[in-house]
A and B are shown apart, each in its own frame.
Chain A
Amino acid sequence: MKEAEFIQQIKSNQGLIRKLAGLYASDPEDLKDLCQEVIYQAWKGIDSFRGDAKFSTWLYRLALNTIFSIKRKKNLVDYKDPSTYNHPIVDESATNRLQSEYLYKAIRQLSETDRAIISLHLDGYGNSEIADITGINANHVGVKLYRIKNELSQKLK
């Protein structure tokens, strides 16, 4: 893939990168670092993208691997914001944006692995794909998803 095409792909998928990185970084600078590192690693490993899967799928896997790797190396402060995630959605007229924020904050409170699993699930990946990307047994993915959804519904009540 040539540089111009790569940049275009990154631009097309920047929301995905930011969304995933934001699940694992609380500090705005750490967030930028994670995004930067994902872009850098993507460029470094672009030859491994052969086009047999969607670029976003390839990037998703790379982003999660990169984020987990960086967090292990740099011991980034995990996202903790208990004062905001547990605000219940009691106003039925709340905007979708607000509900989206609540969902995002609730997901941030999950374990690192669970965050990856539910984000993949919500982005439409099947259990076998999630298993392939995360390295978790597909049956176990199903079990974990069931538990994660219950946990999320409790948080969002």
Chain B
Amino acid sequence: MNLQDLWKQQENTGGEITDLLQTSHWKKGGHAYPLKKSRRTCSTPCLLQ
């Protein structure tokens, strides 16, 4: 397997990040910062939930 294939394989590791689509306020600018704080404490209902 060449380097390109090995590199591509990394896209299949590490689990899903699509949960961020549900849990993050990616559509609302005011809720994006600070990111960690917003993800942990923001109580605004997510639009996708």
Which residues of A are interface residues toward B (Cβ below 8 A)?
7, 10-11, 14-19, 22, 29, 32-33, 35-37, 39-40, 43-44, 96-97, 99-101, 103-104, 119, 122-124, 152
Task: Give the dominant DSSP class at B's interface.
Answer: helix
Further 16 A-B residue pairs, CB within 8 A, beyond A10-B18, A14-B17, A123-B7: A10-B21, A14-B18, A15-B12, A16-B11, A18-B11, A22-B10, A22-B14, A29-B36, A37-B35, A40-B24, A40-B26, A96-B6, A99-B1, A100-B10, A122-B4, A123-B4
- Range of interface residues on B (Cβ < 8 Å): 20 to 34
A103 to B7 alpha-carbon distance, docked (Å): 7
**Cβ of B17 and Cβ of A100 under 8 Å apart?**
no
Closest A residue by C-beta to B40? A29
Residues of A near B36 (CB, < 8 A) are 29, 33
- Within 8 Å by CB of A99, from B6, B26, B27, B32, lies B6
